[in-house]
């Protein structure tokens, strides 16, 4: 069974601070995706990382895939209240496109 562990589970920071969320597994995934979920809504895809060592930037968000394709990180620079939400990492297996989700990181950015 493939498992993904996210840390931290909860994060409460002030506007303007930086933060990093980690997603770790003992399994290799063909790719890894990061989602953001707002209350009452489904997850919305932020990025997919495919190649070991890959780094992708989305405005103030930086996503990295580990060299061995087992772990990933999400770094947010100068967090804003609009970044508040549940951040989920999900590994894509080699068979089909079934997603294995981490437990999520609930981020609150205070003005």
Partner 1 sequence: DAGVTQSPTHLIKTRGQQVTLRCSPKSGHDTVSWYQQALGQGPQFIFQYYEEEERQRGNFPDRFSGHQFPNYSSELNVNALLLGDSALYLCASSLWQTVRKPQHFGDGTRLSIL
Query: Which residue in 36, 104, 107, 109 binds partner 1 (CB under 8 A)?
Result: 104
Residue 88 CB coordination number (10 Å)? 24
Q: Does 48 bind partner 1 (CB under 8 A)?
A: yes
Three-state DSSP class for 107? strand
Pick between residue 58 and residue 98 the one whose CB is nearest to partner 1: 98
Interface stretch with partner 1, choices 36-44, 51-59, 61-69, 76-84 (CB under 8 A)? 36-44
DSSP string, 47-75: EEE-STT-EEEETTEEEEE-TTSSEEEEE
**Least distance to partner 1 from the beta carbon of 101, Å?**
4
């Amino acid at each position: 069974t493939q498992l993904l562990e996210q840390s931290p589970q909860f994060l409460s920071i002030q506007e303007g601070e930086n933060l990093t969320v980690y997603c770790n597994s003992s399994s290799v995934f063909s790719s890894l995706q990061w989602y953001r979920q707002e209350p009452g809504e489904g997850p919305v895809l932020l990025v997919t990382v495919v190649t070991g060592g890959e780094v992708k930037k989305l405005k103030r968000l930086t996503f990295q895939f580990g060299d061995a394709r087992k772990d990933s990180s999400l770094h947010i620079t100068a967090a804003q209240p609009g970044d508040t939400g549940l951040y989920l990492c999900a590994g894509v297996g080699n068979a089909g496109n079934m997603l294995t989700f981490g437990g999520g990181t609930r981020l609150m950015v205070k003005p």
